[in-house]
Amino acid sequence: MTSRRNFLQKISATAFALPFLPGTGSLTLPDFEEQAYQQGKVLRVAIMGLGSYGTRVAEALQACKRAKLVGAISGTPSKLKDWQTKYNIPAKNCYNYENFDQIKNNRDIDAVYVITPNALHRDQVIRVAKAGKHAICEKPMAINAKEGQEMVDACRQANVKLLVGYRLHFEPNTLEIIRMRKAGELGKVLFFQGLSGFRIGDPNQWRLKKELAGGGSMMDIGIYSINGARYMIGEEPTWVTAQETKTDPVKFKEGVDETIQFQLGFPSGAVASCLSTYSMNNLDRFFLNGDKGYAELFPATGYGPIKGRTHKGELTGPHTTHQTVQMDEMAAIIFDNKQPVVPVDGLEGLKDLKIIDAIFQAVKTGRKVDVKI
């Protein structure tokens, strides 16, 4: 396939060579740019939420082959101005939270990546869908399964894709363990352990406000162990139990969990034991045990490199910036209907939300809670 750069060079040369042909009309560089995007099927992305992770995604997009940063959405005018300069974003592709519905009329934007506080995801994704744009949403997709279902329904009704930022679903060492498990190299899977946590800093940040985060550590870091248990074991849980520990009720107010231990049961008889916390460091480990072998990732979910080993030796998959791989893969999903090894669609995000709902219910009741995926 002709590269975007070569395509632009060739079509620009043609334009200069034939500037005065009668009836040709005038074509500007943006017209050529648009044709080049269509030719190369480059996913043109606007990022909503220009904080630290939004910036990380923007930087990763610079190395993408099939995705490009073309727009920005923020409630802070100074950030929009800075991004226009830094990433060469046209002013017409910049919006605030009040007027971003106008992207409906902007042909330069294919998809919006929502990277805002959790409680805002539902309304923002639904607005993106109604504007006719594909939606990519950071995890957790919403603050509960009810909201997640509404997002899935809205995107389906608008005939647009809803994808979730599960970057680890494309990570080589993670995928190698999944391959080994599917090939039977671990034997019958018996047990998974997921440890996800760190000591959170600024007590005034949005992640510690229930009205914005929808919870505490579980919504931020614990979801990695939930998702990891599912793709490592290769099944959906049928029950959960959970216990909460809170040592600092001032920092971790009502509805904001500090530490939750939770257990999952699976149809095959495999079980998972997991920890989600905002009060301990050095916790980023997955361990999968079968009757013929084992696999371990440590670190398992950080920005990389992800490291690990199995009973056969060290895992040596290459490290590429996760968000760069993720965005290129999402372009393939949207344009080519590519089916990833582990899904990253809205239904995948909804499954995690159903489990989170069940964990919170188990904490509240002290009982085993059935999970219906």
Active site members:
139, 224
Query: What are the Cα distances from residue 72, in Å, to 35, 62, 161, 266?
Result: 22, 15, 19, 42
Q: Phi and psi at residue 241, in whole multiples of 5°?
A: -130, 155
Nearest to 357 by CA among 237, 199, 197, 234: 237
Distance CA(357)–CA(208), nearest Å, equals 18
Distance CA(58)–CA(63), nearest Å, equals 10
> Alpha helices of 183-222 — where are they, by DSSP H?
210-213, 217
Q: Residues 118, 221: contact at Cβ < 8 Å?
A: no
Q: Residues 270, 233: contact at Cβ < 8 Å?
A: yes
Residue with tokens 């909460």: 244
Distance CA(80)–CA(124), nearest Å, equals 18
Q: Residues 132, 158: contact at Cβ < 8 Å?
A: yes
Distance CA(290)–CA(188), nearest Å, equals 5
Distance CA(216)–CA(259), nearest Å, equals 9
Distance CA(79)–CA(81), nearest Å, equals 5
Length of the chain: 373
Distance CA(306)–CA(300), nearest Å, equals 6
* Greatest pairwise CA separation for the chain in angstroms: 80
User: ∠ at Cα 144 (350, 264), nearest 5°?
Assistant: 65
Q: Phi and psi at residue 47, in whole multiples of 5°?
A: -100, 130
Other CB atoms within 10 A of residue 234 CB: 15
